[in-house]
Each structure stands twice: as structure tokens, then as C-alpha cells.
Amino acid sequence: MAAKAGHAKIGTRSSPGSSKVPEVLEHVATLTGFRDRGLLDVTLVTGLMDLLQPLRVTMYRTVGDHEDLHWHCRASMARGDLVAASGALWADPATLPELAAKPLHARALHQGEPLEEPVNGEHVTVFSVATDREVLGVVEIVRERPLTRHGRRRVSALLRIYRNFHSLLDYSERDTLTGLLNRKSFDDTFLRAATEAAHPAGTTGEAERRTAQPRQRPWLGVVDIDHFKNVNDSYGHLIGDEVLVLMARIMRSTFRLQDQLYRFGGEEFVVLLRSPDEDSAMVAFERLRSNLEHFRFPQVGQVTGSIGFTELSNSDTPAAAVERADRALYYAKEHGRNQVCSHAALVRSGALSSRQTTGDIELF
């Protein structure tokens, strides 16, 4: 998916012969003017193209399980391109190159220092990209000649600006207690996920046949800690907060790096993930339920959770999808707690009606 030219200065090349300093400042201003992380990556790549005039610049992020990471191209631009291309928000790791497929990039990722080597007559320099919280991936710069010390300093300076602004986004978009994404950041991610449900980037029929991988569909789950009020009443709010922090840790260890994890407030959490079908999504949410049930919380002991989930469609709104998952969650709560319920399965069984609500309007 290419970045649209209608976004001022996003992904567009500057005119030849213009001063480099105003160009760089222009891209710095653009870099800090958006709240979309995809556009942030595209702007970084475009700024490096204007700054260095290399053959191409590519940003890769790591996705997948912690011990099975893959490279996901987030933004790329080559000499002569009018706009930078941005990658899809979601990607099935099984279709992406493994970490070992790019050994230079893997070493730069782990060492945190720029590395360079000649490849097929070109010079490839790889910089690690990190925030205050985590290492995100790498930026690859390909030139005819090695990058000079001055060039490396300029790249490092722009990456520091990227890192600082990314950290500011984290501060505004993440829950201060758990570090998970907050409700304010949910809508934009949801809308992109729903759009890609109808038009998944890079998943043509030919590609699916070649990789033998089914199309990954988006699912939304709402997770609620059972009897959390009793925890606060019996042990106090400090212990209650500790349960929430540990809950977030269990969620991170259960789901993949590319899955989106949110705390909506109180003891309610939301998960956006990709899975090929309802059974696979059920397995993912059941894994969370089981991991939570078998974890022993300090002082509290056992804590359980109830989960309701639903598939997203391209016509969904955040309110409609959350409402469906909530109905499945309430069913789980009313029928014993500590279980996972699929909204679609409950409708098929007749346990729930297919009624959908949007605001005060009921749709039948």
C-alpha cells in the first residue's frame, strides 16, 4: 500500500538542488506532526532518502513470537520513487522472512549499533531502531559507496528524534499502570484492521497458494477479571493494581508481538488479533484464560477471567464490534465465569439473538 500523495510532504521527494537543511527540518516537522505510527515510519524513510540520496531505504520491524521473530517491511522507498510504500498493519509471520534470513540486520538489532557490509556491489548499512520501551526493528540504507561518519551521525540524529517522538506517542497512547495501549488509541487501529479485513494487503490468491497459508482474519476479544471488586475490597487497591500489572504481563506472554493489547479501564482489557478461523481464535483466547487461571498471584492466589470475542467485518464500527464481544462476555459471566465465548457460536446455538445495537438504534 503506497502512502497517498494527498498527505502533505508524506512520502514525497524534494526537488533537486534545494537546500538540505530546510528539507531535513521539514521532515522533522512532519515526523512530529502525525499520531499515526505507520505514517511516522513512512516519514522517517522519506526523510532519510532526502537526507542521504541513497539507492533505497527500508524499515523493518520484528513480528511473531518472542523466540520465532520475522521481518515485516513497514516502509520502503527507492531512488526515483515519488512516494514511499507503507506496509500493512497486520502480517502473518509465517509468510515473512525469518530473522536469520537477514543476518546483518539481526546482528544490528541485537547489538544496537550500526553495521555495514558490501552486498552485490552495493553498500548496506543497518541501524537499530528502538524506543524507551523496546527495540522495534532496523532501518536499512543501501548506497553505491559506504556511508561516511558524518552520514552516520545525521542518520543517528534523525533516529533519536524518531525515538523521542515515538516515546511521546507511547506516553499519550499507553495506560500508565500496565503499559498496554489505552482506549484513546483503539479507534484508529480498529478502523485499519476492519478495512484490511476486506482488503488484506499482499494476500492475493496466488500468494496464499504459494505459502499454503490461509488468509488471516481480524478478531476482537474483551477480557474481564472475575470478581475483581472482591480483590480490591479484601486486599486493597495497591494489591488490586498489582493484579492488573501482572495481568498485562500474562497477556504479553500469551499473545504475539503483532497482536494489539489494550486496557480499557478498571479490570477490562481488549485484544485485537489475526487468526484464520473461529476455532483458531478460540484457541488463542482459551490460552489466555488458562494461563491466567494457573498463575498464582502474590497474596491473592488464583484469579480467573471471562472472555467474549467476535470477528470483525469491513463495515464494523468500534462500538458495534465491542458490543458483540461484550454480549458474549456477559453470557460467560452469567453462566459460570472463567470461560471463553464466541459471539457467533452463541448466535448459532440460539443462546444469543443476532440483534446488533448502535447507539440507541437496534438493528435486526
pLDDT of residue 152: 94
Mean pLDDT along residues 143-159: 93
Mean pLDDT along residues 114-128: 95
Q: Residue 80, Cβ neighbours under 10 Å: how many?
A: 8
Among 35, 68, 57, 202, CA closest to 138: 57
Distance CA 53, CA 77 (A): 11
pLDDT of residue 16: 43
Asked whether the beta carbons of 44 and 75 are under 8 A apart, the reply is: yes
What's the pLDDT tens digit per position in 313-326? Answer: 888 999 999 999 99
pLDDT of residue 199: 57
Residue 114 pLDDT > 60, yes or no?
Answer: yes
Distance CA 267, CA 243 (A): 9
Residue 237 pLDDT > 90, yes or no?
Answer: yes
Mean pLDDT along residues 214-239: 94
Residues 194-226 as b/e (b if ≥16 CB within 10 A, e otherwise) read bbbbeebeebeeeeeeeeeeeebbbbbbbbbbb
**pLDDT, the chain, mean:** 84
CATH number belonging to the domain at 20-173, selected among 3.20.20.70, 3.30.565.10, 3.30.450.40, 3.40.190.10:
3.30.450.40
pLDDT-derived band of residue 67, with 50, 70 and 90 as boundaries? confident
Listed in order, the ranges of the chain carrying CATH 3.30.70.270 are 181-363
pLDDT-derived band of residue 135, with 50, 70 and 90 as boundaries? confident
What's the pLDDT tens digit per position in 46-60? Answer: 889 988 999 999 999
Listed in order, the ranges of the chain carrying CATH 3.30.450.40 are 20-173
For the record, the C-alpha cell of 354 comes out as 443476532
% pLDDT > 90, the chain? 58
pLDDT of residue 64: 78
What's the pLDDT tens digit per position in 271-290? Answer: 999 899 999 999 999 999 99
Distance CA 283, CA 345 (A): 14
How would you classify residue 163: left for phi > 0, otherwise alpha for psi between -120 and 50, otherwise beta? alpha
pLDDT of residue 233: 96
Class of domain 181-363: alpha beta
What's the pLDDT tens digit per position in 326-350? Answer: 999 999 999 999 999 999 999 999 9
